[in-house]
Amino acid sequence: MTIHAKQSELVAEGIHIDFRIGGSLFSPKMLRAVSDVSFTLKAGEALAIVGESGSGKSTVARALCRVHRPTSGDVVLDGENILSHPKWSRQRDFAQAVQMIFQDPFSSLNPVHTIRHHLLRPLRLHGKESRAETDARVHDILERVGLTPADRIAAKFPHELSGGQRQRVAIARALAVGARFILADEPISMLDVSIRLGILNLMHDMKKDGVGFMYITHDIATARYFAERTAVMYVGHMVEWGESDAVTQTPRHPYTQLLLSAVPEVGKREKAPLKAHKAEIPLRTPQSVGCPFVERCPKAESRCRLSMPPVKQLADDHFVRCFQFE
């Protein structure tokens, strides 16, 4: 079992990501999907990225695993820029450090191959063990993620497993290469409620072994349960971030408050959720100005339309981007 150094970090620094959505060759029309996003993933900890669909959460994750190249900004792994440093020029080397697991565990597994094949392939690509040693490691990894008896599970095909078991296989595949960081994109949203907690507990145990997680979710309640730190995103912007307890217990940005007001709490009298103004979610461009939440915000001021609010530090590890706290 590999335990990674606690100082290992994966850092996003000022990430902007633009996509072309039309226009001409000399005058393209661009969509700004991610704007000025910065955070640090630490080994043995989890950072939850929370927001509605279309908020840029998955796009950020794809930049961290080099599926998307940022328009500007840097991604730094243990002090070295993964976009330019020679050490990370080969995707195979980078894949040993950073892995991604997806929302739909079935579509990420090849239906014509057994579970043994799905785990043997990365072990043989990245390892130097003998065939007997890799076979033994397949069983060890399956047992580590709670798939037993390992020999029977290894012989099955993806369609013979439940959704929760398939997601455990996806996690096992990331462990097979010794990943230091796992980017988990809505890993429990397609699973039955009864088995979601089991997957979260598995990932929690992996943190004890030094694995760092980026946990992408629209469910702020599970973010509070699993992650040490939480960042709330809206239309590509981080609007509030910091220690999970601070962000979820004392939310300050109107968007975070709206998300939390819709979460039912056991033992508390149900209250009507805060109301946002009805408005289309904006399509931001590199030229857009003002707060992206202004059209829906119940506390918007005229200046919110004219310029982006500054970042305000509310506590040691609690930040918000809103004019209310100037």
pLDDT at site 1: 44
**Poorest-confidence range of 24-38, 77-91, 221-235, 280-294?**
77-91
For the cut 60, the answer to whether the pLDDT of residue 23 exceeds it is yes
Count other Cβ atoms within 10 Å, centred on residue 21: 12
Strand ranges in 174-221 using DSSP code E only, listed in sequence order: 181-185, 212-217
Q: Please report which helix (H) or strand (E) contains residue 28, including its range.
A: strand 28-42
Confidence category of residue 273, pLDDT binned at 50, 70, 90: low
Where do the structural domains in the chain lie, given as residue ranges? 9-97+179-325, 112-178
Q: What is the mean pLDDT of residues 159-172?
A: 92
Identify the CATH assignment for 9-97+179-325 out of 3.40.50.2300, 3.40.50.300, 3.10.580.10, 1.20.1080.10. 3.40.50.300
Q: What is the mean pLDDT of residues 100-123?
A: 89
DSSP-derived secondary structure letter, 310 = P
Tell me the sheet residues that pair with 17: 34
What CA–CA distance (Å, rounded) separates 245 from 214? 17
Q: Dig out the tokens for 200 from the structure.
A: 């979260």
pLDDT at site 2: 47
What CA–CA distance (Å, rounded) separates 193 from 183? 21
What CA–CA distance (Å, rounded) separates 220 from 304? 25
Strand, coil or helix: 38: strand
Q: At 324, which amino acid appears?
A: Q
Strand, coil or helix: 153: helix
Q: What is the mean pLDDT of residues 197-209?
A: 92
> Radius of gyration (Cα) for the chain, nearest Å?
21
The vertex-43 CA angle with 39 and 45, nearest 5°, equals 70
Q: At 317, which amino acid appears?
A: D
Confidence category of residue 130, pLDDT binned at 50, 70, 90: confident
Count other Cβ atoms within 10 Å, centred on residue 239: 25
Residues in the chain: 326
pLDDT at site 37: 97
Burial of 7 by CB count in 10 Å (0-12 exposed, 13-18 middle, 19+ buried)? exposed
Give Cβ neighbours of residue 91 (< 8 Å, ≥ 6 apart).
66
